[in-house]
Structure 1
Amino acid sequence: MSYEPPPPPANLPTEIVNTLNESDPEQLRDVATYTEALAEHKEREARLEESTDQEEAEEQPDELPDDVPAKATITIKEINNNRYYYWQWRDGEKVKSKYKGPVDSDG
C-alpha cells in the first residue's frame, strides 16, 4: 500500500477535491455512501424519464383539453371494476391526472 494519497479524478472540480482532502475518514465514508446512492437515484430518474419520453412519443393524443399539457398521455385506471380514461403527465416530481371519460366496453 502506498503512502501517497490517491490522485483525484481529472474531471472532479478543485473545490470538491479540496473539501474531500480536508475531511476525516468517517466523513469520507459517509460521502462515499451518499454519492453512490445519489448516483443510483439519478440513473433511475434518467431511465424513468427516458421511458416516459418513449411512451409519450408512442401514445400522443389528438385533442387535449385547455388545462392539459401537450406532453400528456392517455392512461386507463380501474376503479371498482369500472375502467376510465385519464390524461396523465409529469409536473416536476409529481404525476398529475385529469379525468377524460369511461372506457367503452366495446373495446
Structure 2
Amino acid sequence: MSYEPPTPPSSLPTDIVNALNESTPDRLRDVATYAEALAEHKEREARLEESTDQDGVEERPDDLPDDVPAKATITIKEINDNRYYYWQWRDGERIKSKYKGPVNPDE
C-alpha cells in the first residue's frame, strides 16, 4: 500500500471530499457500506421503473409464484453474510419482495 492518501475522483464535490478526509476509519467503512447499499437500491429502482415502462407483457417464468406479477425481477439480498434471491416488483409507490431461495443452495 502507498503511504500517500488516495486521490478522490474529480466528480466528487469538495464538501464531500473534505467530510471524508476528516472522518475516522470506522466512519469511512460505514459510509462505504451505506454508499454501496444505496447504489444497489437506486440501480434496482431504475430497473424496476424501466420494467414498468415496457409496453409488451413478457412471458411468465416457470418458477414465478402465482402471487408474484410477471413484471417482477430477481434481486439478491445479503442477510447476516448469507445471500438470497428475492422476486421484487413495484406496486404503486411501494416496492414489494417475495423470497425465492438461497443464492448458493449447496451451502
TM-score (norm 2): 0.53
Counterpart of 2:24? 24
In the alignment, which residue of structure 1 is the partner of 2:56? 58
Relative to structure 1, the CA distance from residue 50 to residue 27 in structure 2 (aligned partners, 3 Å threshold; closer, same or farther) is: same
1:30 partner amino acid = D
Q: Name stretches of at least 5 consecutive residues in structure 1 with no aligned partner.
A: 60-76, 79-88, 96-107
Q: Which structure carries more relative contact order (alpha carbon 8 Å, separation 6+)?
A: 2
Which residue of the partner structure matches residue 102 of structure 2?
Answer: none
TM-score by length of 1: 0.53
For residues 95 and 43 of structure 2, the distance between their equivalents in structure 1, rounded to whole angstroms, comes to 18
Tell me the equivalent position of 2:4.
4
Instruction: Say what the alpha-carbon RMSD is for the aligned residues.
Output: 2.3
Higher helix share: 1
For residues 11 and 91 of structure 2, the distance between their equivalents in structure 1, rounded to whole angstroms, comes to 32
Q: AA paired with 2:14?
A: T
Larger Cα Rg: Structure 1 or Structure 2?
1
Q: Deviations over 1:2-59 (max 9, x none)?
A: 21110001101111100000000000000000000110011011000000010xx337
One-letter amino acid of the counterpart of residue 11, structure 1: S
Tell me the matched-pair count.
Answer: 66
